[in-house]
Amino acid sequence: MVDNTDDLEKLLNLTKKMSVKIAQLSPESQLSAQLERFTFINQDFENIMGEYKKQADQVSSLVQKISNLENELDEHRTRFDSKAISTITQIQKEKE
């Protein structure tokens, strides 16, 4: 899985720099710049959350595959146990 901690830290640092620059603008420009900043942050957040969702879907898929393999293994064990019991029973009958 991908660790997005660095991405989040970069986003935080960038937004801090943007805040300083916004504070230097006129009040009218500040409002517009803050809206742009929010849009930028929101888009990055959506991208990061999209990555997390992809990873969660991959994990879910892997869990399902593991579950299917466990079920298949149980089926093979059951067949093996059944054949083993049948063979042991047959050998015992032949000895008698």
pLDDT band at 75 (very low <50, low <70, confident <90, very high): very high
DSSP state of 38: H
What is the pLDDT at residue 30? Answer: 74
With 60 as the cut, is the pLDDT of residue 1 above it?
no
What is the pLDDT at residue 74? Answer: 94
What is the pLDDT at residue 54? Answer: 92
How many angstroms separate the most distant Cα atoms in the chain? 103
pLDDT per position as a tens digit, 12-71: 787 777 777 777 777 777 778 778 888 888 888 898 899 999 999 999 999 999 999 999
Distance CA 87, CA 90 (A): 5
With 70 as the cut, is the pLDDT of residue 2 above it?
no
